[in-house]
């Protein structure tokens, strides 16, 4: 059985495509997905403008993509226009599986340059062709997808074309997204409207079928598998409310009275069905769509209720308790190709800034006022953001952090490295603050989720245990994203299982080395961010989290204390020491040597000169 070992290289400026072998050392050290994408990104010159032709955008799969249980995924890897940091964002659905089938003996495609007019990149039989696509300009995700009825499409909508810094790469007509951090804005800046995968997903080889069946059973029997089968993460809303970690009305409260109306039971009541109802892990609920959705050319009559981030960011976060209104807002974001988490936070910031007198929406071209609970006003502002059609929409299209620098209100909505926080308020689970702060792509809840243990079990971790918990989970997920697997597999798929899969492919891997994979790749992305100018202060606690919920607002519902900055700095010291980084957060030469990265840093990359003795990786099977 042949394991893919090549990479397609596309230069849109020169209209050139070539096929290169991936260096054997890179395959051994980084495998695919996140790791391999990060290694190609590190080859760029430091300081590249994310919107320039020099930035790279990689679509990367792993050697096990299409074979593993769970939802197939691909990694979109680039330098983020929202944060200026490393970005890996993951999309699922049919495009991920068909991408793997269309790449042949390639693990992905690395795209540089920029086209003068819109183009699509067509993939089939391991080859890529650049095709004109001016007729697709301005189409939304569903309309673009409908133009390719016999293929799977990953595309940008109007938000990506307009350079919204948190634009997504949408697939399956907007049902799935590589969402956070603005990979869609990079794609739009390159004039690349869509990547089209024309071949079917790869057949599962006979040597893997029994292994896949066992892995599916283990996945379905895991806590994550049972949770997904029951509610497809919609239970996150009620979980957050019940445990006091649900961001509400622009981070002014941590509980939402309307949470039950946004959760899994309401979805079941409204559902017209579910995607993939016979699959081992059922897909998203689908609900009847409004007239506007039905009016599009894709022929669809319902819309997907995405996973828990949407009813949090567009529901509790905006004070909207109507399930259908939240589903409609999510559908608007999906078609425009805009990240629901950043969009919801942007609207929430605008409401709070308006309440505080920092902005007057009327002065910025927004009709009517802004208030929490107003779905129509939220929709209007989201559409203005996606088109950059008003001064306020244009400002918010650059992210909350930039808007707050311009107008004031930096302590209203928390951001890390310029990325808006998602899903959980760490004032109710302090270890989650460390996970947010140290995320390599910014304020991301998917790098590590200690909240799910801390908020329920209150384990009483010591600072050292908290630091180790976050670092170990970050490493486990980084390793899984090199494969590229559904991140919910992390609970049931460790180094020993991965080594068994590789052996079935004829690629013998030592489980001990696979244990180091995640730590190695996490260290690589840290080196990239350090080279781009990030420092310890960028791992700091957002100002908004040092205040109690509701402080300075007429809607104070709690008045509880914020997080202690001094205690957080001590926790960050523990985290750095556990990772073998110095006090400024720079990996030491000793650590780089242990991970096989001693020859990697260039002269522009800071390397630590002192630090704790690096640990033996704590991640288990």
pLDDT in tens, 543-592: 999 987 754 433 344 445 789 999 999 999 999 999 999 999 999 999 99
Please identify which residue in the block is written with the tokens 């991920």. 96
Predicted pLDDT of residue 455: 72
In degrees, rounded to 5, the angle at the alpha carbon of residue 177 between the alpha carbons of residues 306 and 275 is 45
Using the predicted structure, report yes or no on whether residue 248 has a pLDDT greater than 90.
Answer: yes
What confidence category does residue 256 fall into, taking pLDDT thresholds of 50, 70 and 90?
very high
Token pair in block for residue 472 = 């170990």
Using the predicted structure, report yes or no on whether residue 255 has a pLDDT greater than 70.
Answer: yes
Rg (CA), the chain: 23
Using the predicted structure, report yes or no on whether residue 58 has a pLDDT greater than 50.
Answer: yes
CA distance 193 to 337: 12
Token pair in block for residue 362 = 């009327």
Q: Is 558 helix (H, G, I), strand (E, B) or coil?
A: coil
Question: pTM (2 decimals)?
Answer: 0.91
Average pLDDT estimate for 87-95? 93
Using the predicted structure, report yes or no on whether residue 55 has a pLDDT greater than 60.
Answer: yes
Out of 3.40.50.1370, 1.10.569.10, 3.10.690.10, 3.50.50.60, select the CATH number for domain 231-420.
1.10.569.10
User: Any idea where the domains of the chain sit in the sequence?
Assistant: 6-197, 231-420, 430-594
CA distances from 139 to 29, 175, 386, 402, 483 (A): 40, 16, 13, 28, 33
Average pLDDT estimate for 271-292? 48
Using the predicted structure, report yes or no on whether residue 272 has a pLDDT greater than 60.
Answer: no
Contact at 8 Å (CB) between 80 and 137?
A: no
CB-based burial, 467-497: b 16+ in 10 Å, e otherwise: bbbbbbbbbbbbbbbbbbbbbbbbebbbbeb
CA distance 332 to 325: 11
Average pLDDT estimate for 57-70? 89
CA distance 350 to 361: 8
Nearest to 310 by CA among 282, 292, 287: 287
Q: Kindly report each contact of residues 544-549 with a partner whose C-beta sits within 8 Å and lies 24 or more positions away, as own/partner.
A: 544/251, 544/411, 544/412, 544/413, 544/414, 545/414, 545/426, 545/427, 545/433, 547/411, 548/427, 549/251, 549/252, 549/253, 549/254, 549/425, 549/427
User: Can you list the alpha helix ranges (DSSP code H) found in 157-297?
Assistant: 158-161, 183-189, 206-221, 223-231, 235-243, 264-270, 291-294
CA distance 108 to 90: 14
- 35 against 290, higher pLDDT: 35
Contact at 8 Å (CB) between 466 and 431?
A: yes
Predicted pLDDT of residue 550: 55
Predicted pLDDT of residue 486: 76
CA distance 211 to 248: 44
Residues of the chain with pLDDT > 70, as a percent, come to 86
CA distance 457 to 465: 15
Using the predicted structure, report yes or no on whether residue 232 has a pLDDT greater than 60.
Answer: no
Predicted pLDDT of residue 210: 85
Using the predicted structure, report yes or no on whether residue 235 has a pLDDT greater than 50.
Answer: yes
6-197 classified as CATH 2.40.10.170: no
Predicted pLDDT of residue 100: 94
Q: Quick: pLDDT tens for 310-354.
A: 899 999 999 999 988 998 999 999 999 999 999 999 999 999 999
Helix axes 223-231, 235-243, angle to 10 degrees: 110
Using the predicted structure, report yes or no on whether residue 515 has a pLDDT greater than 80.
Answer: yes
Predicted pLDDT of residue 366: 81
Predicted pLDDT of residue 284: 52
What confidence category does residue 450 fall into, taking pLDDT thresholds of 50, 70 and 90?
confident
Using the predicted structure, report yes or no on whether residue 363 has a pLDDT greater than 90.
Answer: no
Q: Quick: pLDDT tens for 480-514.
A: 899 888 766 766 678 888 888 888 888 888 888 88
- 430 against 115, higher pLDDT: 115
191: enclosing H helix or E strand: none
Contact at 8 Å (CB) between 353 and 412?
A: yes
CA distance 432 to 447: 10
- pLDDT averaged over the chain? 87
In this structure, of 265-269, 369-373, 569-573, the range with the lowest mean pLDDT score is 265-269
Within a 10 A sphere around the Cβ of 373, how many other Cβ atoms? 15
Contact at 8 Å (CB) between 311 and 341?
A: no
CB-based burial, 388-424: b 16+ in 10 Å, e otherwise: bebebbbbbbbbbbbbbeebebbbbbbbbbbbbbbbb
Predicted pLDDT of residue 559: 45
- CATH level 3 topology of 430-594: 1.10.599
CA distance 562 to 43: 41
How many Å is the maximal CA-CA distance in the chain?
A: 65
- 182 against 449, higher pLDDT: 182
Using the predicted structure, report yes or no on whether residue 27 has a pLDDT greater than 90.
Answer: yes
Predicted pLDDT of residue 613: 47
What confidence category does residue 279 fall into, taking pLDDT thresholds of 50, 70 and 90?
very low
Within a 10 A sphere around the Cβ of 26, how many other Cβ atoms? 17
Predicted pLDDT of residue 349: 98
Nearest to 423 by CA among 431, 432, 434: 432
Write out the E strands in 391-547.
415-416, 419-420
- 235 against 419, higher pLDDT: 419
Predicted pLDDT of residue 485: 80
- 166 against 610, higher pLDDT: 166
What values do phi and psi take at 558, rounded to 5? -140, -50
Predicted pLDDT of residue 302: 53
CA distance 117 to 416: 35
DSSP characters for 331-397?
Answer: HHHHHHTB-HHHHHHHHHHHHHHHHTTS--GGGGT--S---TT-HHHHHHHHHHHHHT-SHHHHHHT
What confidence category does residue 296 fall into, taking pLDDT thresholds of 50, 70 and 90?
very low
Token pair in block for residue 464 = 């050292």
Average pLDDT estimate for 359-373? 88
- 427 against 612, higher pLDDT: 427
Using the predicted structure, report yes or no on whether residue 106 has a pLDDT greater than 60.
Answer: yes
Please identify which residue in the block is written with the tokens 């109007």. 158
């Amino acid at each position: 059985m042949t394991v893919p070992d090549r990479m397609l290289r596309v230069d849109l400026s020169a209209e050139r495509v070539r096929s290169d072998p991936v260096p054997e050392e890179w395959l051994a050290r980084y495998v695919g997905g996140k790791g391999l994408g990060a290694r190609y990104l590190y080859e760029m010159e430091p300081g590249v403008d994310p919107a320039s032709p020099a930035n790279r955008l990689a679509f990367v799969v792993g050697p096990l993509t299409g074979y593993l249980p769970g939802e197939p995924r691909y990694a979109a890897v680039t330098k983020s226009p929202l944060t200026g940091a490393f970005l890996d964002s993951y999309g699922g659905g049919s495009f991920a599986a068909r991408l793997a089938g269309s790449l042949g003996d390639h693990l992905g495609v690395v795209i540089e340059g920029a086209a003068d007019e819109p183009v699509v990149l067509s993939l089939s039989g391991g080859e890529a062709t650049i095709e004109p696509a001016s007729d697709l300009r301005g189409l939304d995700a569903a309309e673009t997808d409908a133009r390719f009825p016999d293929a799977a499409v990953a595309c940008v909508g109007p938000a990506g074309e307009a350079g919204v810094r948190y634009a997504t790469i949408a697939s399956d007509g907007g049902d799935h997204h590589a969402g956070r951090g603005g990979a869609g804005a990079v794609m739009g800046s390159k004039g690349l409207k869509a990547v089209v995968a024309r071949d079917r997903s790869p057949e599962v080889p006979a040597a893997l079928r029994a292994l896949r069946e066992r892995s599916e059973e283990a996945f379905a029997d895991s806590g994550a598998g049972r949770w997904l089968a029951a509610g497809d993460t919609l239970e996150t809303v009620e979980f957050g409310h019940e445990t006091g970690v649900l961001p509400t009305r622009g981070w002014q409260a941590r509980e939402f009275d309307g949470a039950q109306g946004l959760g899994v039971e309401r979805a079941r009541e409204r559902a017209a069905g579910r995607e993939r109802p016979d699959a081992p892990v059922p897909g998203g609920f689908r609900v009847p769509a409004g007239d506007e959705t039905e009016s599009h050319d894709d022929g669809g009559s319902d819309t997907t209720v995405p996973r828990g981030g949407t009813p949090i960011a567009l529901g509790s976060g905006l004070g909207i308790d109507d399930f259908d209104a939240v589903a409609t807002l999510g559908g608007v974001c999906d078609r425009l190709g805009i990240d629901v988490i950043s969009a919801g936070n942007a609207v929430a910031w605008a409401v709070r800034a308006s309440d505080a007198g920092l902005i007057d929406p009327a002065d910025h071209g927004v009709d009517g006022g802004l208030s929490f609970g107003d779905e129509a006003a939220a929709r209007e502002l989201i559409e203005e953001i996606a088109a950059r059609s008003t001064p306020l929409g244009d400002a918010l299209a650059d992210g909350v952090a930039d808007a707050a620098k311009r107008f004031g209100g930096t302590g209203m909505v928390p951001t890390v490295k310029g990325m808006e926080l998602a899903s959980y308020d760490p004032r109710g689970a302090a270890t989650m603050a460390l996970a947010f702060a140290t995320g390599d792509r910014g304020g991301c809840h998917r790098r590590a989720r200690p909240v799910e243990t801390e908020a329920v079990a209150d384990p009483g971790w010591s600072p050292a245990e908290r630091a180790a918990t976050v670092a170990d989970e970050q490493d486990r997920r980084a390793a899984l994203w090199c494969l590229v697997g559904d991140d919910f597999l992390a609970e049931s798929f460790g180094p020993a299982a991965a080594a068994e899969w590789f052996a079935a492919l004829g690629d013998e891997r030592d489980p001990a080395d696979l244990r180091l994979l995640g730590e190695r790749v996490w260290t690589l992305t840290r080196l990239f961010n350090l080279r781009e100018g990030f420092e310890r202060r960028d791992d700091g606690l957002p100002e908004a989290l040092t205040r109690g919920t509701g402080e300075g607002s007429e809607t104070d519902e709690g008045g509880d204390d914020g997080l202690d900055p001094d205690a957080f700095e001590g926790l960050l010291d523990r985290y750095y020491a556990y990772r073998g980084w110095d006090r400024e957060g720079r990996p030491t030469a000793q650590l780089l040597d242990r991970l096989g990265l001693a020859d990697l840093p260039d002269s522009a990359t800071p390397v630590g000169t002192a630090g704790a003795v690096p640990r033996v990786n704590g991640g288990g099977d």
